[in-house]
Structure 1
Amino acid sequence: MPTPQTTLDRLESEAIHIFREVAGEFDRPVILFSGGKDSTLLVHLAIKAFWPAPVPFPLLHVDTGHNFDEVIEFRDQVVAQHGLRLEVAKVQDWIDDGRLEERPDGTRNPLQTVPLLDSITSHKYDAVFGGGRRDEERARAKERIFSLRNSFGQWEPRRQRPELWNLYNGRHRAGEHVRVFPLSNWTELDVWNYIEREGIELPSIYYSHQRDVYLRDGMWLTEGPWGGPRPEETVLHKTIRYRTVGDGSCTGAVESEASDIREVIAEVAASRLTERGATRADDRLSEAAMEDRKREGYF
């Protein structure tokens, strides 16, 4: 008698189907890979989808220059371990040659859009995999698995296509491309349960560790090349972990004693805030902060 499929089996099967669909339908796909948990899961699923053949498309990281050292080391480790191809678009290069200007607040997360779109154009990528999930944020909940972007890389909600019976429409005009989200139907808890089941390694900062942090707008931030703390902000030595990783200037930690995956899963299951809602300052700029950025070309 066949073993009944679990929720994780169904999510894995859907994601693998999406990877294979894109490989058959597009000419130049690419996976966005930062070394964070969701993009690491994407790489794991891509390897499964094409095993024993190599992953047939490269990885792209838009590097703000404000990433955590542990995450960059892990990124390079994964690339070397699996023999993958990695293209790095450094925000600093765009700042140095005048295509971008440093923001007064020091955060570079919003500055990723131009290097991302420039890289897509210069490499002629027609499908770009991202690790976005619908449970993360309201704007991402609106987006389809195959999300058409116009020739300026912008998201147009009215051009979203129906996706009935797992049929995906990748048709696009010259200069347009499609963002693809194989993890759309996963939750943060699904991700962690799958990571446990598959034994997937992650950067150490996803688990509890001690770090000097200061409190700003209800989030624990750490000092780095982006600056801080301000004179009125007190630095404390705390036991924390990161639920999401990104530009260090706007990615907050949470106080946590969860030092292994089972403890993390228990913590996530009890949480009533998504990881972006709890730890990403860039999503708090306005009610529609993420949607505004997506319209400009951000993920």
Structure 2
Amino acid sequence: MRVALIMTIDLTDQFTTGTASDIDALFAGRTTPADFDTLTALESEAIHIFREVAGEFERPVIMFSGGKDSTVLLHLAIKAFWPAPMPFPVLHVDTGHNLPEVLEFRDRLVQRHGLRLVVASVEDYLADGRLQERADGIRNPLQIQPLLDAIGDNRFDAVFGGARRDEERARAKERIFSLRDAFGQWDPKRQRPELWNLYNGRHAPGEHVRVFPLSNFTELDIWRYIAREDIELASLYYAHERSVFNRDGMWMTPGPWGGPGDGQELETRSVRYRTVGDGSTTGAVLSDAADNQAILDELTVSRLTERGATRGDDRVSEAAMEDRKRQGYF
């Protein structure tokens, strides 16, 4: 039996996640008939999913990396419950190898919207010996244990993520509601049907459900939605001059994770990031696209996915992402 979620909202209450002018700007001009297009359909689906989870689960949380997809995810969550405050905390797994622009943006957004931030730190696990640094210096795979511990310690039963089906073949297999077992692992054979947008959140004690409201967005849809909603992003998504070096066809930024190796020269180039991840394995692309329209123009002629072009950890093997997902990764 399905139970509908009914919310009674006092419209006189102040919206606690921003000023009145912020909210007016957020929603101004979004309801004209011309707006009811593909983006509006995708937005409506995502908002429906957020409200469905709010009515079905006890302790949801939103994964937030500071990247474009998780920023759109947060924007949609705020919109889904406005004028009430967004009812979920946000969870960030900090590898210790984040680019500084990402952390600055994360903290600014959390403060602006009055959110509760939960941070799971890979550095803490390395410091006390629960994890060991990898020989290649890449920390993306090291996020799995801190993530699963944060979910268990906080008893989160639904975890929103910003993954999209067009990103990678393993993510294309996954349902919008994706059951994880008591060890946080994903079994493709336990996928549940989602006919007519009916979602099954049933889970046993100790299990949880990963929820992906952006599943049906493409990268181009995300950028079109960012442009339409005028969503602020971390500055590194737009073209800027940066000291980078070329490694395996990717333009990498030097940092605590290391710098140019033998035969690699540090250069100043105009670059931007298409995706945000661990600084040791996430590269930039050469670009002069400094605004949303320029990025949209650039993407319409691109033949490479964002992960294929800029994520070294996805180049390990064709099944690299699926292997990590089976262990508990997003």
Q: Distance in 1 between matches of 2:241 and 2:51?
A: 41
Among 238, 253, 260, the alignment partner of 1:207 is 238
Residue 31 of structure 1: aligned partner? 62
Among 73, 85, 101, the alignment partner of 1:70 is 101
Among 217, 230, 237, the alignment partner of 2:268 is 237
Q: Distance in 1 between matches of 2:102 and 2:295?
A: 18
Query: Tell me, which stretches of 5 or more residues in structure 2 are unaligned?
Result: 1-31
**Matched length:** 299
Shift of 1:2: 5.7
Name the Cα RMSD after superposition: 1.0
| 1:74-93 to 2 correspondences below 5 Å | 74-93=105-124
Residue 284 of structure 1: aligned partner? 315
| 1:129-168 to 2 correspondences below 5 Å | 129-168=160-199
Q: Distance in 1 between matches of 2:59 and 2:131?
A: 27
Q: Does 1:196 align with 2:227?
A: yes
Q: Distance in 1 between matches of 2:74 and 2:278?
A: 21
Amino acid at match of 1:117: L
Q: Does 1:177 align with 2:190?
A: no
Query: Tell me, which stretches of 5 or more residues in structure 1 are unaligned?
Result: none
Distance of aligned partners of 1:4 and 1:239 in 2 relative to their CA distance in 1, 3 Å threshold: closer
Match of 1:249, SS?
coil
Shift of 1:228: 2.1
Q: Does 1:55 align with 2:55?
A: no
Q: Distance in 2 between matches of 1:14 and 1:215?
A: 40
Shift of 1:5: 2.4
Among 249, 255, 259, the alignment partner of 1:224 is 255
Q: Distance in 1 between matches of 2:49 and 2:178?
A: 13
Among 125, 133, 155, the alignment partner of 1:124 is 155
Q: Distance in 1 between matches of 2:109 and 2:37?
A: 28
Q: TM-score, normalised by structure 1?
A: 0.99
Q: Distance in 1 between matches of 2:151 and 2:246?
A: 37
Q: Distance in 2 between matches of 1:99 and 1:147?
A: 28
Q: Distance in 1 between matches of 2:135 and 2:244?
A: 21
Match of 1:240, SS?
strand
Match of 2:314, SS?
helix
Shift of 1:44: 0.2
Residue 95 of structure 1: aligned partner? 126
Shift of 1:231: 2.2
Shift of 1:104: 1.0
| Residue-by-residue CA offset, 1:110-147 (whole Å, 9 max, x unaligned) | 10000000000100000000000000000000000000
Q: Does 1:44 align with 2:75?
A: yes
| Residue-by-residue CA offset, 1:5-48 (whole Å, 9 max, x unaligned) | 20000000000000000000000000000111000001100000
Shift of 1:268: 1.1
Q: Distance in 2 between matches of 1:131 and 1:169?
A: 19
Q: TM-score, normalised by structure 2?
A: 0.89
Structure of higher CA gyration radius? 2
